[in-house]
Amino acid sequence: MGLTGLFGLLVVALAAVGLYGVTAYSVERRTGEIGVRIALGADRFSVVKMVLRGAFVQILIGLAIGIPVSIACARLIALQLYEVKGWDSLMLGGSVAALLLCALAASLVPARRAAMINPVQALKAE
């Protein structure tokens, strides 16, 4: 059980690093656009909200695929093992909440970096 928990933590860490990398790359590619938005009067909160929205769309797509697959796999495992429930709603809800919290932490760093972009330097870079 301890090994399974360790693998679970490793998977969550890898998912957070992957989401951070994709979000940071997206912010880097959109530096000019973000600079123009800030130069035209967008406040920092709207830039952070824009970046977080993009990250959470990816997370919600992953959850929409992952939740039914995990329920199906749990039912298959329940057929093979003695006295194992098909799925536990408390555990599923807890894991979804943990993934959402981890996704928020992973995408907040690039979002704050995007909000601190200097519009003049962003426009000079292009």
DSSP letters of the chain? -HHHHHHHHHHHHHHHHHHHHHHHHHHHHTHHHHHHHHHTT--HHHHHHHHHHHHHHHHHHHHHHHHHHHHHHHHHHHHHSTT--S--HHHHHHHHHHHHHHHHHHHHHHHHHHHT--HHHHHHH-
Per-residue model confidence (pLDDT) at position 126 = 64
pLDDT tens-place string over residues 74-115: 888 888 888 777 778 888 899 899 889 998 999 999 999 999
Per-residue model confidence (pLDDT) at position 83 = 78
pTM here is: 0.80
